[in-house]
Amino acid sequence: MMDLGLSEDHFSRPVGLFLASDVQQLQQAIEECKQVILELPEQSEKQKDAVVRLIHLRLKLQELKDPNEDEPNIRVLLEHRFYKEKSKSVKQTCDKCSTIIWGLIQTWYTCTGCYYRCHSKCLNLVSKPCVSSKVSHQAEYELNICPETGLDSQDYRCAECRAPISLRGVPGEARQCDYTGQYYCSHCHWNDLAVIPARVVHNWDFEPRKVSRCSMRYLALMVSRPVLRLREINPLLFNYVEELVEIRKLRQDILLMKPYFITCKEAMEARLLLQLQDRQHFVENDEMYSIQDLLDVHMGRLGCSLTEIHTLFAKHIKLDCERCQAKGFVCELCREGDVLFPFDSHTSVCMDCSSVFHRDCYYDNSTTCPKCARLNLRKQSLFQASGPDVDA
């Protein structure tokens, strides 16, 4: 029987055995060690030592098959940007061969774009482009619920690696991805669970469902991207989910507060708008949502955090900053009461000139904005005054 000749006493090489130095010798030593283990008494100390020796033989064999010397730190392949990992203690699973990555003895890489992980020996076998490139160039969701076309349309092959699959599991098990509706083999579909955007926007359904590895990475990269225009995709959702109506009102108020902050020195120094740095789209529009936004609405987190930010913003404008207070409005219909701001709950704003009025004063639909009325009257006067000159 061969041995590695390790320096520890309990791993020392018995007399008559030689040192294993190549793959073939190690494979032979492993087989002999397995035979010895079967012949030794159960639970004996000699059998335990033989098992430990077998483990070290297998690790040494794997090290020879997957050498880690002279490996480059960066590898670029199919728009993946792979970086060699330095962690030796974390146990990962290779996305290509579906086996464990033993960081202690194996070299492995992670794509910085989509977090695809694989052995160095599997790098050249990667066939799927990095999904981060799709996120960068075409950031959109499949909004049809599980758009299945049938396994026959895939020629009974995995949608990613093209391996033969069938619903009976022979030659390979067909697993459906709830996001794409396509079927995958067990190497490309690990039964990972993810929230499906189409089910969220159409049914307000957040139950995680099984998706392929590629879909899981794509959904993970897209989760914080504001690409959903809910009022166009499913306007009835606002009638069904009351929290969405509250969020929309808070976002509209924040957009009305934004002009105060970008012209206020104190607000810029305090960097108040950075309160929404994780949701930059909230200070740009009130229509776009990300899946993370909708998840937080469903969990009740977004309403609370956005209300706190709204209160902080309103406090700066109405109480803390004299410059912002000076930009308030007086109702031109009644000319009474406190200074008004467009984000106050009891006000109405003219869509044409942005003047602010008490809602009760502006409630009558026949009432027109005084400022717009004066402007229209002035235009008519100028037109009438210039009429004779034009005729002449």
The 10s digit of each residue's pLDDT in 73-102 is 888 888 888 988 877 667 788 988 888 888
| Amino acid letter, residue 281 | H
Average pLDDT, integer, range 47-61: 79
Strand partners, 118: 109
Q: Say if residues 324 and 342 touch (Cβ distance below 8 Å).
A: no
Q: State which amino acid sits at residue 66.
A: D
The partner residues of 76 in beta bridges, in order of sequence, read 81
Closest CA to 184 of 98, 99, 93: 98
pLDDT, tens digit, for every residue of 186-208? 989 999 999 999 999 999 999 99
Read off the pLDDT band of 362 (50, 70, 90).
Answer: low
Residue spans of the domains in the chain: they are 23-65, 74-132, 139-223, 237-321, 328-379
Mind listing the pLDDT tens digit for each residue in 194-243? 999 999 999 999 999 999 999 999 999 999 999 999 999 999 999 999 99
As a whole number, mean pLDDT of residues 24-40 equals: 85
* Confidence at 379, pLDDT banded by 50, 70, 90: low
Class of the domain covering 74-132: alpha beta
- Model confidence at 139, pLDDT cuts 50, 70, 90, reads confident
Dihedral sign from CA coordinates of 329, 334, 337, 341: negative
Among 66-70, 111-115, 178-182, 383-387, name the one with the lowest average pLDDT: 66-70
What pLDDT is recorded for position 298?
Answer: 94
Q: Judging by DSSP bridges, how do beta strands 80-84 and 347-349 pair with one another?
A: unpaired
| Position 3 confidence tier, pLDDT thresholds 50, 70, 90 | very low
How far apart, in Å, are the Cα atoms of 288 and each of 133, 198, 227, 248?
Answer: 22, 15, 6, 10
* pLDDT score of 11 more than 70: no
Class of domain 139-223 as given by CATH = alpha beta
pLDDT of residue 37: 87
Phi, psi of 149 (to 5 degrees): -115, -5
Does this model's pTM top 0.85? no
- Amino acid identity of residue 101, one-letter, is I
pLDDT for 20 equals 43
- Percent above pLDDT 90 for the chain: 37
Q: Supply the mean pLDDT for the chain.
A: 83
User: What is the predicted pLDDT for the residue at 385?
Assistant: 64
Q: What is the pLDDT of residue 364?
A: 54
